[in-house]
């Protein structure tokens, strides 16, 4: 005869520090940004969390965006920056695009609302010209 004995086993997971938490938006970008090539634009996105979340700008298809020299940069503080540019340097894939701000840390990921960006040329009189067709 085989004898077995059973004893209760308690498994305990280490709870995360009370200070650790997933990202929360402090400043979520607006859903539409229209600007002229002579002014440029900055789109701000801020999030808190512990550890501090990483800010990544993405396209509507979920791919991360990077710098396009002279046309689009991501600043060290998480802003999506469109510097002023010459009208002939307009690029639809940069200046007429849907972006979103993604904030993530080891405890979670959040994504902002869609941000519809549209840049257009400015006439020499300072009046805005017709926007490029989407």
Measuring CA to CA, which residue among 97, 92, 85, 93 is closest to residue 121? Answer: 85
Considering the entire predicted model, what is its pTM? 0.78
Dihedral in degrees, nearest 10, Cα atoms 75, 87, 64, 76: 0
Residue 53, in any domain of the structure: yes
Taking only the tens of pLDDT, the chain with its 134 residues reads 555 444 444 444 455 566 899 999 999 999 999 999 999 999 999 999 999 999 999 999 999 999 999 999 999 999 999 999 999 999 999 999 999 999 999 999 999 999 999 999 875 544 444 445 54
The Cα–Cα gap between 118 and 32 comes to 8
The residue segments making up the domain with residue 111 are: 23-120
Domains identified in the chain, total number: 1
Residue 38, in any domain of the structure: yes
Residue 109, in any domain of the structure: yes
Residue 4, in any domain of the structure: no
Return the CATH number at 27: 2.60.40.10
Residue 1, in any domain of the structure: no
Residue 11, in any domain of the structure: no
Dihedral in degrees, nearest 10, Cα atoms 88, 56, 26, 31: 40
């Amino acid at each position: 005869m085989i004898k077995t004995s059973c004893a209760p086993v308690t498994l305990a997971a280490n709870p995360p520090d009370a200070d650790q938490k997933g990202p929360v938006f402090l400043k979520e970008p607006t859903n539409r940004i229209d600007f002229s090539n002579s002014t440029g634009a900055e789109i701000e996105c801020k999030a808190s969390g512990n550890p501090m979340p990483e800010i990544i700008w993405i396209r509507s298809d979920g791919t991360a965006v990077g710098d396009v020299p002279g046309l689009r940069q991501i600043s060290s503080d998480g802003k999506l920056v469109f510097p002023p540019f010459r009208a002939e340097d307009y690029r639809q894939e940069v200046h007429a695009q849907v972006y979103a701000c993604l904030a993530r840390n080891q405890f979670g990921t959040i994504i902002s609302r869609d941000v519809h960006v549209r840049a257009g040329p400015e006439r020499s009189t300072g009046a805005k010209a017709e926007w490029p067709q989407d």
